[in-house]
Amino acid sequence: MERRTFLRASALSVGTMGAVGGMSGGAATASAAAPLRVQVLLFDGAEEQDFIAPVEVLGLGGRMSGGALTTTLVTTGRPGTVTCTYGTEVRAPGGWSPEKADVLVVPGGGYNDKTGPGVNRLVADQGFLRRLAAVDALRVGICTGTMVLSAAGLTKGRNATTHTGAKPDLAAQGATVVNARVVDDGDLITGGGITSGLDVALWLVERFLGAKLAQRVETVLEYERRGTVWRA
């Protein structure tokens, strides 16, 4: 199936038409022959938990599915090393390649530091925001990563969530703020709070690889999902 059609079909099945389709019921739509390609964006000041949790969950999901899901760490520009919120240095082997991604995960970090490293530098990068707005992929915001999507105009008039401290700003920028752990608005998925990356990633596994695999991933991680997955 052509990538654009694949993602559109997924969005319609899970919620944009108000109906819950086969994926939430357990059927997989990605496979080793046509894997779901996930890119996780890294940048200086990114919150460690925001991106490590999705990398762990999605990596395990990919392994347990026999390669039906791939995860790549990318930067906004060239490959390189980023320094995260608490000083962890992480090397991203590639730059962001929109044409090679079905899903782009944007973590948060540094939202309250308006002049330091973190999401505010992405928000100020108009070139990056234009590229982000033009992406034909499923956008996923973790914690204050949602505010980057908002700055690109992607949450206006949409259902979304973010960290509690940023919800007033998200609402002021035109989003309909939903007080849920995970908000799935079709081609836009957002998670509220730093640890929500675990639940967002498990929902991605369920949505694209099926409920049975998501449950197996939970069992291996010894983690029980929190809160509600709100669907349009």
The residues that bridge with 80 in the sheet, in sequence order, are 92
- Tokens 């915001």 appear where? 141
CB contact at 8 A, 77 and 127: no
Three-class SS state of 161: coil
Tokens, residue 6: 């694949």
Three-class SS state of 3: helix
CA 89 – CA 152 distance, rounded (Å): 27
Helix (H) or strand (E) holding 65: none
User: Starting at the edge strand that comes first in sequence, how are the strands of the sheet with 94-95 ordered?
Assistant: 94-95, 69-75, 36-41, 103-106, 138-142, 188-191, 182-184, 229-231
CB contact at 8 A, 147 and 167: no
For residue 42, which of 83, 71, 70 has the smallest C-alpha distance? 83
- Catalytic residue selected from 14, 103, 132, 143: 143
CA 44 – CA 124 distance, rounded (Å): 14
**What is the greatest pairwise CA distance in the chain?**
45
84 is catalytic: no
Tell me which residues are annotated as active site: 143
